[in-house]
Every structure is written in C-alpha cells, then in structure tokens.
Structure 1
Amino acid sequence: MRQSPFYLTKSRFKSALECPTKLYYTGKDVYANTMEEDEFLMALAEGGFQVGELAKYYHPGGYDITSSEYKEPLEETNKLLQQENVILYEPAIQFENFFIRVDVLVKTGNRIDLIEVKAKSFKSREEFFSKKGFIDSHWRPYLYDVAFQKWVTEQAFPEWEITPYLMLADQNKRTSVDGLNQLFMVEKNAKGRKSVKVNEDITKELLGDEILVKVNVSNLIQMIWDGKDIDPAKKSIEDQRDFADRARLYAKYYKDDERYPITLGLKCKHCEFNNGSKPELKSGFEECWESVYPNFNPNEPHLFDIWNFRKSAKLIDKGLIYQKDIYEGESVNELNPRQLLQVEKTVNRSNTEDIKTELFAEMESWDFPLHFIDFETSMVAIPFYKGRHPYEQIAFQFSCHTLYEDGKIEHVEWIKTEQGKFPNYCFVKALKSVLDKDEGTIFRYAAHENTVLRQIQEQMIDDNEERFEEWIEWIESITEWKDEDTKGEFKGERNMVDMLKLIRDYYYHPAMGGSNSIKAVLPAIFSTSEFIKNRYQKPVGHGINLKDMILWEMNNAEGIPYDPYKLLPNKYDELDLSQEEILFEGGNIQDGAGALIAFGKMQFTAMGATKEQH
C-alpha cells in the first residue's frame, strides 16, 4: 500500500505528464513497475548521482538536508530558511498537496536561485528550441520539472523573487584534473536509498576547473506557464490545460486515489506498469486496456509488437489493437514487407524461419577468417581523466571471436582496468594488432562499434593528428561515415559488415517478435538450427568464462531451448564486483549497461595492477 501523506512530488508530476493514469498505480507494491531499478542503474551508469554531489561543491558552505520522508526535512528546511542568507542542498518545500526537494537553493534575502541539477549534456541555448521556436521535445521533461518546482515554491513563499536554473554538464568544457569522477562513490543502502560517499576532503585543487554550467531558464519556464511551449497543432488534450490547473488536477487525483480517465495511445507502448517480467504482480497496462476493451487479451499479439511500426496511434484511434486486426483488414497496406512478414507469421502461428536467398550472395563476398567484434564503452557526465569533455566516449574493453574456414574459433579479449589512464588509444592499437593479422572480413552488430571508432578518431585528430596518423587512417579503412557538409556516404576499403542490417534485410524468425536485437535474434536461431544444437549442447571449446560451458540446453517445461544469455555466468554479481568477474569475458557481455556500470565501479575501487589480455 502507498504511504501517506499523498503529495504530488517532482517524480510523480513527471509521470503524470507522460500519462495521468500512472498516478493511480504509482507507489502500490501490488503493481509491477519496471522503472524502479532501471532508473537507479542508468543514473549510476551515466553519473547522475555524482553530478548532483559535484553541484553542491560548486556552491560551497551550504547545509545538506539528508533526512528522508516529509515531516523531518520540512522542519529542518524551514528552520534554516529563517536565515537571511543561506545555501541549502535538497531542501524540502511543501504547499497544499505538493512536495518538492530542490537540488540546490541559494537564498540571498528574498532573492532565490532555484537550481535543478541534471546529468545531461549541454552546448548552447539553441538546443532548447525546435526549428519553429517551440521548446524541443527532448528538453521538455527537464524544463517542466523546473517549472513545477518554481510554481510550488512561489505558492509556498509568494514574497520570494525566484530565478530558476538548470545546471548541466557543459560539453564545451574540459576537466583540468585527473580522477574527478572517482571523488564521488555512489552507495545504495538496504532500503534502496542512494547516497554519494566522498572519498577524501574536497578542495578547489581537486575539483579543478568547473565543468557544469548554470543556465537561466526563466524565459523557458514562462513559455510553459503561458502554454506557448508546444506547437498548438501537436497539443494533446492534457497539453491544452493551464499549467497550474493541470498540477492541481493531478494532485487531487493522486490524493484521492482515483484513477484518472483513461486514454489509450502510443504512450502506452513503453508503460512501466507492465507485468511481463513479474506475472505474479498486477499490470496497470492491462487494466487500462481492459477498461476500454473488456475482452482485452494480453496474450494476443499487439500492434505495439510490430517492428518499427510508426502508425500505431492512427490504428488505435480506429479501434484496431491486435496484429490480426491489421492482417485481416485494409490496414494491412500500412505495413512494409518486413512488417508484413512478421504479422503474417505471427497471425498464422508459423514457427519457421525466413531466409532470403540474397543472403547467400552476400556471404560469397566475405573473406576468411571472419572476425566478430564487440565493444564495451562508457559515457559519463563527469570525466575520469584530465583534458576530457563531459559525456566523451571511453572504450575500455573489446572482444573478438575469429572463425576460420575449417570451423576453428579463437577468442581474444582486451580490457583496460587501470585507474586514471585514458584507455581509448591503447584500445585502438590493441584492436588493430588483432585485426591486422589478416584481411578477413570484420563484423559488428548495429552501429555502436562504428560510432565508437569514429569518435576515437575525432579524439585522435583533436589531440595530435600527426602522432596518431597511422591509427586515424586505419579507423578510416574499417568504418563508414557521412560527410556533414555534402551529406555524401563513404565506406573504408575494409568496412565492417553490420549483422543487424543482414538480419533486417535477409532473416526473420517468429520468436524474434518485433525485435532485431541480438538478444532476440540469438535465442531464435538457437531454437531452430540443428547445427547450433549439435555444436553447443557440447562444452564450448573457446573463450574464457565460456570455455567448457554448455549453451544449448532444452527447457522441457516450455519445449524450447533455454535462452543462451540466461545460461551465461552472472552479470557482475549485482555489481558487487570481484576482480576476476570484472577482468574476464564476463561481466558477461550480455548486458552493456552492466558493463559500463562495472567500468565506473572499477575506477572507484582499488583493483590492483592493470590486466590487459591479447
């Protein structure tokens, strides 16, 4: 059960902006919520908690309101606000059924700087606006957050003159010190509350030059309050409401524990109150759909599951919600060939794979040995290294599986764990030494590896083009790119083959559903290929963590093989990392977010000597 008092907080207001009905499910343990743990892990991965702590040190001499819940932090805040001039970190402010915690509040008499700190990159104010002069949709959630805080604060303290700010990671800045990120270690207690542990006494020398920028957003907040932030032609019914009326309406529904009138649409697709992974809990998603369609069947393939389908909203408005509704009517013409193939196989319950003959012609162009590469990278708001920008790419691990024409497989892995040393250039040199042993075709899955190499190439050019000329040219030879000026597309003579494109163009299995992710494709292939079955129901003969493992194992209860990803060793053991778990193939490349969290954690802890594998 949810706990009283029933305040509309920043996070609840944000959720209501996405869909007001979510407020009914919020805070109730009986409903599945996929967002709760994901938000913590992603904030940890991106450095969100550390940015908040760094912002406090950019406003020194303040009081940190560390108490939780409502009553105690309010009392502590109100007592400190009696001072003429004061700086507060996470002060609590309450008005009627509204409650907020401000990241940083600077009080100088009745003049207030209200500062919301976000681990988001920023280059210029132009980013805030769309081409038509409205607020860019990517910035809208952040600015609505500040607009809500300013409104609540003005209601609570009408005598104050409040200037709202967003404090952001300035991509125009470079760190002037090593180890800035490592000064702040994130911890999470048994109750799930996060805190940041500062590793040593912080001085200006340790912080170096400031890398966060404080942006006055007064004009943007006023646009939101005046209803001028969104193109009138694109406003929903909720967007047309007055800001204050909207906030009060949501607060009332939340306080009264009433379900807001349900409207279905594209917003439902990524609803966090879906119990797909926790069937023992209630599904808010299903309850909403059942309220409009009493005979709603959650097991019937939904149109949301169609790959890359952009017309869901239009069809939902027509009352078409299942794939069979589309397949059996005129709307089938809305599907492209790949989507039609998926829907056709799904509706007809086909379990056979589809392989286009063009794939075999493509394969004829490949040269053995075949190299399959995979990168693990990190982009955080507060850089680990001197001279780097916020959110600059860090490549710390690669894996290369090489398949020879006789079927032999070799595995090579490289990982840089040493604290305080920028790994990217060593990364490229090591990768080149592996791939330059022959002229075999190189494979990647999706754009990530290509993007990372192009980013490192830019870093090399920026740092010392002449010194890195050999590696700059090599990156050019194995990547593809688009010229920003001419918009022309170019490919290196040994350009990597994108297996995701191969899947999209030439292969489909119904078990993939609407996903082309490797995590959907691999289990699908495992379920149908006799070759894979014969090879992997015996111990694997290559790799490090994978060596001697059996990856094809029948799940007799479901009549299909187990997902091979779920047979891999645990992923970083809930991030309580032992040295061996981090350093070898593990951390099990099944989870990219886990990998970059792990790298961040390696930079915080004493891991001993660097280990690099070739």
Structure 2
Amino acid sequence: MSLSKSLYTRGIQCPKSLWLKKYKPDILTPPDAAALARFETGNIVGDLACNLFPGGREVAYDASGFKKMAGTTKRWLDEGLEYIYEATFIYEGIVIMADILCNTPEGVEIYEVKSSTDVKEIYLHDVSIQRYVLERLGYSVKNCHVVHIDSSYVRGEELDLNGLFTIVDVSDEVDALMEGVPVKLAEFEACLGDRENEPGIEIGKQCKNPYDCDALHYCWKVQREIPDYSVFNIFNLGSRKQVELYGQGIVRIEDIPDDYPMTAAQRQKVANWKSRASRIDKEKINAFLETLRYPLYHLDFESFQQAVPEWRGVSPYQQIPFQYSLHIERADGTLEHREYLAEEGSDPRHGLAERLIEDIPDNVTVLAYNMSFEKGVIEKLAADYEELADHLRRINENMRDLMLPFQKQYYVTPQMQGSYSIKYVLPALVPEMARAYKELDGVQNGSEAMNAFAKLSGMEPEEKEKTRHALLAYCKLDTLAMVKVLEKLKASVLR
C-alpha cells in the first residue's frame, strides 16, 4: 500500500475520500483561491518555524522519488545532526515527512508545524502516523509536539518567533491513538485493495469535518442529486433529526411530514418553502426604515489577514482593512460614490482610517450589511490610533445593519433558502446585481479580493494596475448592491 501522511489523514476523515483520491482524482473539486492561499500560508509558516530550531538542515524535495530523501535523512541522523527539516522515512510503502525532527541521544522528537491557532484532533492523527513509521523503523520517539500560531501575539518592531509560535506537547494524546493506527491502516488497505468498487459510504458529518471534502460535490450532487436547499439546510449536518430524515429517504423539504417535531424556527422555514410564498412584515420593515436618516452612507470594507504579521501592532489573522467603498445616498435618491484602496507593500491601516473620517462626517447614518464586521474593524482602528478614535467611534455609534430585516425575518422569500446572508438575499431581491458579480473581471468575491491585494506587491506594473481596477470595481459593487437591496425594502412597504 502506498500512503502519505496527508492521505492517511484524508482516510481518517473518510475512507471513500481516500479511495477517490487514489482512483478517481478527476472528480475532486480543484482547490479555489482561498484554499491555495492557505497552502501558501502553511508553507511560509512551516519555513519560519524552522528558525525556532536553528542549525538544522532541510532534506531537499526530490520529485523522482522519496528513497533518496529517506537516505539523506538516515545519513544525517547517523552523523548526529540535531535538527532535520522535512525528515523523510519510508515503511512498507508509507511515506512520512516530519516538519522538524529533533535528534537526541535518548531518541527523536517530532514537531509538526501548523498555521492554525490551536491543536485540532486531526493533527494528532497526523503525528500518530509519523510516530508509527518511526517506531516501526526502530527509532525511539521521545516526545511529540504540535507547533502552532499564537493568536494573542502582537508584533512589536521586530518579529518575535517565540511569541508568534506556541509549542504544545501532544505525546499523551498521540500515545492514546497509537493502538488504533494499525487498525486504520488495515482498513485503508482493504479499501484501496478493491480498485473496481467504490466504497459505499453514505454522506454525513464527515463530509465537512474537519474540512470541507473535495469530493463533496461528487457525492452530494452527482451521485445523490441533493438539492441546493434541503433537509441539510433545515437541520445541522449530523444532527439526530437530519440523520433520521435522511435515513427515511427524505431529502427534499417538501417531503418533511407536517407533524414532524421541529423548533419554531425550523417549522417556519419549512412552511415558507412549502408555501413558496414571500412573507413581508410591512410594519416592522417600516419601523426599521424610520431608524435611517438621510444622507445614508453605505459602507463596505475589504480586509486581509496575515498569519505572520508584518507590521507593528498587528496580531496573527487580524482583519487588516485595505479598502472601502462608500455610496452616499441622498433623500431624493441621488448617489455619490467614494472609495479608498491602499498602496500595496505597507501598513494600510492609518491611511485608510484618515480617509474614512474625511469621507464620513459626524452624526450621519452609516449602513452596513452584517455590521458586526465593519464595527469590529473600526473599533480596532480606534484602539490603534488614539488621535482618530473619537471620530471613528462616533461612526460606529451611528451605524445601522441592513441585514436586520432579513435576520429578524421581516422579509422572507423562498429564494433566500432560509438564510439572511447577502449571498442569498441579493439574488432573491435583485437578481441582476447577482449576475453583475459574475461579469466582473478578476475579482468576484471577498476571498479573491483578499488574495489579490496580498499579492499586489509582487506583480508587474501592468498586472498590478489591472488588479487594482478589479478590486475597486468589486468593492464598488458591494455597496451599490446595498443601495439596491434597500430600494427593494422601501418598495415592499408601499405595495
């Protein structure tokens, strides 16, 4: 059996996913921009963590095979090298590469590096297969560790690696898994031994835990034709009721029995879908509209995150705003647009905050969709820049949330599929705006915007200019979409 530690952990999540990766890789969904960015971040963090263990050497990747890499690892261990990065070992077709291996007179220590901010259970399985291979090869594994990012770290003038990283001893947790490793390997070998017959594993909680499986579309849509809106949207995946209904062959919401026990919120969603009728509470929508004072300042931020903070005062994975769009709507319906996009390669926060308080006067109504994000960004800017804090906090005090009428179910349509996310509200209310996003060139969603800005400094001038235009066009559409959604709300109370 040929297996790597990534394939092993894939099998831990779902053996069928492992089989598909081996024998039907073409059906798997390719990684999107966000996933590729995570992979890149993982590589950066992994390389940086090696500096916690100075004086080591990295086993060079050899695309022609792993035997040479394993040979290099063994030679360096025999020579007494203390730290080896990407230490490679092969046992009965199982190939593992330890991120950092510490070689001591009493045995070896495993350090698995992760770009996350905590120790997840799947990481313990990752380390357990490494320990299994090492022990089968005759090495004494002294201790096992996971090295991860400490989200509480705040960067000073210089990057402090000891503050950025946390090293957690997981030896006891891994020890508890060791007895099960041979059992899992036997299970995977039996699964992969049958090339012709795809494992008959039903969809379930493992499809999205601990990661969204790249076979999800194949298993859900191609094989089972699960509707976009189904019992899985009404009941949490893996919950007792969801499992019960699916076990009875009930997938479509219209097939849920009227007397099936549900919470009030679940029953309302089911009733809305079955009736195919919109529900509009004019009185409550009108009460919301009366909280708005013109001119309205429709605000949307774009932000990005850094696992390794580049600038003073920034924490790992902190939301760093780099752009905003502002549509100013007058009482007569006229619009004025303002925007800001930071220069790449430097800390964008102060310049953005200064421009924001120029563009948004005191005591005006600011409108955001899911305002908790915008308010969080502004509050962090206020905390970072004392001289701007008063004005920034007044912006927050005067902010209203356009999401509220949908979140509180004042306005519900079947097309929203039980959600108040703008992803569902916009195509339900303003389908032409939803189509406009698909027609954008280069940047069509928040993940693409985040990744595009992070890469700007490495682009050639022509590509950089094109990308900046794409970022501005995307963010501008976000606030224009808010204007259009508000128009629909105002029209609904006039019917």
- Secondary structure of 1:436's counterpart equals coil
What amino acid maps onto 1:323 in structure 2?
R
Match of 2:84 among 85, 88, 93: 88
Deviation at 1:569, TM superposition (A): 2.3
Alignment of 1:525 with 2:453, yes or no, is no
Gap change, CA 1:316 and 1:63, over 3 Å in 2: closer
Partner of 2:47: 53
What amino acid maps onto 1:454 in structure 2?
E
Partner of 2:438: 566
Distance in 1 (alpha carbons) for counterparts of 2:73 and 2:352: 49
Match of 2:134 among 147, 150, 153: 153
Deviation at 1:142, TM superposition (A): 2.1
1:451-600 to 2 correspondence within 5 Å? 451-460=376-385, 468=386, 471-479=388-396, 492=397, 494=398, 496-505=399-408, 506-527=410-431, 563-571=435-443, 590-600=444-454
Over residues 88-115 of structure 1, what are the superposed CA-to-partner deviations in whole Å (9 max), with x where a residue is unaligned?
3223222224222211223235622211
Contact 1:400/1:412, CA 8 A, preserved across alignment: yes
Contact 1:90/1:104, CA 8 A, preserved across alignment: yes
Partner of 1:317: 244
Match of 2:206 among 267, 289, 300: 267
Deviation at 1:383, TM superposition (A): 0.9
Match of 1:397 among 315, 323, 330: 323
- Secondary structure of 1:396's counterpart equals strand
Match of 1:328 among 257, 271, 290: 257
Match of 2:220 among 285, 299, 307: 285
Deviation at 1:51, TM superposition (A): 0.6
Distance in 1 (alpha carbons) for counterparts of 2:69 and 2:34: 24
- Secondary structure of 1:215's counterpart equals strand
Distance in 1 (alpha carbons) for counterparts of 2:112 and 2:269: 45
Count residues with an aligned counterpart.
458
Partner of 2:482: none
Match of 1:216 among 169, 174, 185: 169
Gaps of 5+ in 2: 477-495
Contact 2:254/2:274, CA 8 A, preserved across alignment: no
Alignment of 1:249 with 2:172, yes or no, is no
Over residues 347-393 of structure 1, what are the superposed CA-to-partner deviations in whole Å (9 max), with x where a residue is unaligned?
45x3x543222112211221011111111112221111145333333
What amino acid maps onto 2:270 in structure 1?
V
Distance in 1 (alpha carbons) for counterparts of 2:12 and 2:149: 25
Partner of 2:271: 344
What amino acid maps onto 1:414 in structure 2?
Y
Over residues 529-579 of structure 1, what are the superposed CA-to-partner deviations in whole Å (9 max), with x where a residue is unaligned?
xxxxxxxxxxxxxxxxxxxxxx66xxxxxxxxx7221022222xxxxxxxx
- Secondary structure of 1:410's counterpart equals strand
Deviation at 1:334, TM superposition (A): 0.8
Deviation at 1:117, TM superposition (A): 0.9
Partner of 1:361: 287
Alignment of 1:166 with 2:92, yes or no, is no
Partner of 1:279: none
Gap change, CA 1:364 and 1:300, over 3 Å in 2: closer
1:55-70 to 2 correspondence within 5 Å? 55-58=49-52, 59-68=54-63, 69-70=65-66
Distance in 1 (alpha carbons) for counterparts of 2:163 and 2:253: 57
Alignment of 1:34 with 2:35, yes or no, is no
What amino acid maps onto 2:430 in structure 1?
F
Distance in 2 (alpha carbons) for counterparts of 1:248 and 1:458: 55
Contact 1:396/1:424, CA 8 A, preserved across alignment: yes
- Secondary structure of 1:163's counterpart equals strand
Distance in 2 (alpha carbons) for counterparts of 1:13 and 1:57: 28
Distance in 1 (alpha carbons) for counterparts of 2:420 and 2:278: 14
Contact 2:299/2:325, CA 8 A, preserved across alignment: yes
Contact 1:300/1:322, CA 8 A, preserved across alignment: no
Distance in 2 (alpha carbons) for counterparts of 1:77 and 1:255: 30
Match of 1:121 among 105, 117, 124: 117
Distance in 2 (alpha carbons) for counterparts of 1:222 and 1:170: 25
Over residues 105-152 of structure 1, what are the superposed CA-to-partner deviations in whole Å (9 max), with x where a residue is unaligned?
232356222111111225xxxxx6xxxxxxxxxx21222222222222
Deviation at 1:409, TM superposition (A): 1.4
Distance in 2 (alpha carbons) for counterparts of 1:162 and 1:340: 55
Deviation at 1:50, TM superposition (A): 1.0
Distance in 1 (alpha carbons) for counterparts of 2:34 and 2:295: 41
- Secondary structure of 1:304's counterpart equals helix
Report the RMSD for the aligned CA atoms in angstroms: 3.5
- Secondary structure of 1:94's counterpart equals strand
Distance in 1 (alpha carbons) for counterparts of 2:164 and 2:366: 41
Gap change, CA 1:172 and 1:405, over 3 Å in 2: closer
Gap change, CA 1:254 and 1:92, over 3 Å in 2: farther
Contact 2:87/2:98, CA 8 A, preserved across alignment: yes
Gap change, CA 1:86 and 1:260, over 3 Å in 2: farther
Deviation at 1:174, TM superposition (A): 4.3
Match of 1:413 among 305, 316, 339: 339
Percent identity, aligned pairs only? Answer: 24
Gaps of 5+ in 1: 1-5, 123-127, 129-138, 181-206, 227-241, 276-282, 291-295, 461-467, 480-491, 528-550, 553-561, 572-589
Q: TM-score, normalised by structure 2?
A: 0.80
What amino acid maps onto 1:254 in structure 2?
L
Distance in 1 (alpha carbons) for counterparts of 2:278 and 2:393: 36
- Secondary structure of 1:148's counterpart equals helix
- Secondary structure of 2:117's counterpart equals strand
Distance in 1 (alpha carbons) for counterparts of 2:21 and 2:371: 35
Distance in 2 (alpha carbons) for counterparts of 1:28 and 1:36: 18
What amino acid maps onto 1:504 in structure 2?
Q
Over residues 317-372 of structure 1, what are the superposed CA-to-partner deviations in whole Å (9 max), with x where a residue is unaligned?
352432346533422x41434x4454335445x3x543222112211221011111
- Secondary structure of 1:21's counterpart equals helix
What amino acid maps onto 2:316 in structure 1?
P
Contact 2:416/2:424, CA 8 A, preserved across alignment: yes
